[in-house]
Amino acid sequence: MHYLSISFTHKNTDISVREKLAFNTPEKKLQILKLIKTDKDINEAMVISTCNRVEVLSFSNEPKTSSSHIIKCMAIASGVFEDELFERADVFEDSGALHHLFSVASSLDSLVVGETQIMGQIKNDFKFALENQFCGEHINKAVDYAKICAAKVRNDTQISNNPISVSSVAVAKAKEIFTTLQGKTALIIGAGEMCELAAKHLISNGAKVLILNRSSERVENLVGRLGEMADWDTILKLKEYVNKSDLIFSGTSAPNPIITDETIQPTTFHRYFFDIAVPRDIDIKNKSELIDIYSVDDLKEIVKQNLALREEQAQLAYSIVGNSTYEFLKAQKTSLSTPIIKAIRQQAKECAEKELQKAIKKGYLKNSDQEEAYKLINQVLNSFLHPMTINLKQIGETKNALDITKSMKYIFDIKEDKQQ
């Protein structure tokens, strides 16, 4: 069995394709996971879908055929041509897939290195796949270890100091445009995590925020957390507010744009839109010179500055990821030997007991000698099996652990564990 990761990110896929691939609703995730699991060689699968990436992590018998199957499924679900996805996809197997997962969880593969939201998104996507019975113990182990690795990177490096996210980069760009945000009022459309982060950064820079959302309960709770610098209204007033605001952030989970040419009316003042959603919320084709729109991908220049500042810490973080990958694989290899050791010892025990009873039945031993004889046999077996046990426990240090375990199972007639 093999870990397999198929990855589409800001590094290999532009936003126009990523937004088609975004499996950011329960319905879309169910659709793609059901398609993926039609491959009998794929035992487990989960989808990671964020504003900067869409990835499928799976556990498969045949990674080469499974990777082709997964990309075909993504093409069917997204409407993107299969050839284009094959050309763009980054495919990782086994140690590469684990190293990639740990790097993603540690925010080393993010558009904004060091951002703090990605591990929470991975946890949520894993929980969804687990609850819907698309994944089990193997992906569970990998995600658990990814959490440990991410925590170590966070604690042992300074890469997440002054945490930066796409939302904070968007606010930084707004501050650059207006020189100061003190006393301004920003319109925010949506009440999810990205919008909440944008609101917090705007407020910390002296701005007030007005939040529009479909769910009044959710936006009321958000405004309650943000305090007196925040207010809200219904999204039914979207058109009214969009045409009287000069600073607008939008980050809903809507499947289609919510701000289009029909929404926009002419104004005498300049408007700046920050579209932090994937799929994008804003699709204005008849854009005037008084309208500027910044999407996630347009914020890359600020991100590059962030990367330069954190390069040294990133190198340290990558060494942690490399060590974590090695330790995980070592633990996985070692775990292969545990059932074999148990099976061999059980066989030896059963054989000893069987022969002991034969000896008593034939009169070679008295019943009164049975306990002492069993102790002696047990000591002999432990002494004989001790070198084998030590060597099998150290199997994680070897490159050919799988070959060794297969040979041991064959020699001692141990039936294959279907889950290994």
Provide the pLDDT for residue 40.
Answer: 93
283 and 385 both lie in a single domain: no
26 and 133 both lie in a single domain: yes
* Distance from C-alpha of 99 to C-alpha of 248, rounded to nearest angstrom: 38
154 and 185 both lie in a single domain: no
Peptide bond into 279 cis (omega under 30): yes
DSSP state for residue 414 in the 8-state scheme: P
Provide the pLDDT for residue 310.
Answer: 65
DSSP string, 283-340: E-SS--TTEEEEEGGGGHHHHHHHHHHHHHHHHHHHHHHHHHHHHHHHHHHHHHHHHH
Query: How confident is the prediction along the chain (420 residues), in pLDDT tens digits per residue?
Result: 799 999 999 889 988 899 899 998 899 999 999 999 999 999 999 999 987 899 999 999 899 999 999 999 999 999 999 999 999 999 999 999 999 999 999 988 887 777 778 898 999 999 999 999 999 999 999 999 999 999 999 899 887 766 567 888 899 899 999 999 999 999 999 999 889 999 999 999 999 999 999 989 999 999 999 999 999 999 999 999 999 999 999 999 898 999 999 999 999 999 999 999 989 999 999 888 999 999 988 887 666 666 665 677 888 899 999 999 988 887 777 666 677 888 888 888 888 888 888 888 888 878 777 888 888 888 888 888 888 888 877 765 666 766 777 787 778 888 754 334
Closest listed residue to residue 344, CA positions, set 419, 415, 420: 415
195 and 255 both lie in a single domain: yes
Ramachandran class of 413: left when φ > 0, alpha when ψ lies in -120 to 50, beta otherwise: left
173 and 137 both lie in a single domain: no
* Distance from C-alpha of 329 to C-alpha of 98, rounded to nearest angstrom: 9
Cα-Cα-Cα-Cα dihedral of 129, 131, 135, 138, to 10°?
Answer: 120
Please report which helix (H) or strand (E) contains residue 188, including its range: strand 185-189
Provide the pLDDT for residue 363.
Answer: 81
| C-beta separation of 58 from 68 below 8 A | no
Provide the pLDDT for residue 350.
Answer: 85
Global pTM value:
0.67
Range of the domain at 231: 166-289
Give a yes or no: residue 302 inside a domain.
Answer: no
Residue type at 4 in one-letter notation: L
* Distance from C-alpha of 156 to C-alpha of 151, rounded to nearest angstrom: 8
Residue ending a domain, choose from 133, 162, 191: 162
188 and 277 both lie in a single domain: yes
Just list the catalytic residues.
51
Q: Which residues are annotated as a binding site?
A: 50-53, 110, 115-117, 121, 190-195
Q: How many CB atoms lie within 10 A of CB 347?
A: 13
Residue ending a domain, choose from 135, 162, 189: 162
203 and 275 both lie in a single domain: yes
| C-beta separation of 231 from 207 below 8 A | no
Residue ending a domain, choose from 273, 289, 305: 289
Give a yes or no: residue 209 inside a domain.
Answer: yes
Provide the pLDDT for residue 419.
Answer: 38
| C-beta separation of 49 from 29 below 8 A | yes
| C-beta separation of 199 from 274 below 8 A | no
* Centroid of chain to Cα 374: 53
Provide the pLDDT for residue 306.
Answer: 62
Provide the pLDDT for residue 401.
Answer: 64
State how many domains the chain has. Answer: 3
Provide the pLDDT for residue 418.
Answer: 38
Provide the pLDDT for residue 174.
Answer: 94
107 and 229 both lie in a single domain: no
Q: Which residues are annotated as a binding site for substrate?
A: 50-53, 110, 115-117, 121
Residue type at 278 in one-letter notation: V
Those residues with Cβ within 8 angstroms of residue 97's Cβ, 6 or more apart along the chain or in another chain:
2, 3, 4, 5, 57
